[in-house]
């Protein structure tokens, strides 16, 4: 009986102390192309929210940390890829948006531009 009560107490404490999973909501994305003097760029407007501490987006193999407002919403326009010469055929790019909590708990969303042509 004592073992059962002890097990229930430990189980109850673990439920009370468990944090919720990190949530990342992507509410809107808009991919677009720019060009100037023979160079090109793929940009992404993205907005969303999280319950995490930080949100980052993969740009050129590094994570750029996005600014969160007081309600943990983000809204940014960011350069995802750059071309020193404009591609002649179809192409697509992708990125990853990640939310972090305490630098340990993470969740991610993969975003793909679809096929583009200049």
Which residue in 84, 101, 94, 104 sits closest to 58, CA to CA?
A: 94
Spatial separation of the C-alpha atoms in residues 42 and 15, rounded to whole Å = 45
Confidence of residue 20 (pLDDT cuts 50, 70, 90): confident
What is the tens place of the pLDDT at every residue in 56-107? 999 988 989 999 999 999 999 999 999 999 999 999 999 999 999 987 889 9
Domains of the chain: which residue ranges?
20-112
| Domain 20-112 = CATH 2.60.40.10 | yes
Size of the chain, expressed as the number of residues it contains? 118
Task: Specify the pLDDT at position 3.
Answer: 55
Confidence of residue 4 (pLDDT cuts 50, 70, 90): low
Whether the model clears a pTM of 0.75, i.e. scores above it, the answer is yes
């Amino acid at each position: 009986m004592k073992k059962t009560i002890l097990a229930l107490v430990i189980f109850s404490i673990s439920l009370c102390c468990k944090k919720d999973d990190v949530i990342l909501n992507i509410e809107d994305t808009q991919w677009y192309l720019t060009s100037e003097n023979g160079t090109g760029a793929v940009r992404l407007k993205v907005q969303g929210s999280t319950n995490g501490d930080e949100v980052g987006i993969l740009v050129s193999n590094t994570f750029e940390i996005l600014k969160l407002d007081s309600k943990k919403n983000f809204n940014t326009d960011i350069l995802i890829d750059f071309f020193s010469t404009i591609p002649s055929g179809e192409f697509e790019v992708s990125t990853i948006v990640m939310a972090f909590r305490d630098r340990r708990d993470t969740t991610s969303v993969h975003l793909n531009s679809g096929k583009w042509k200049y």
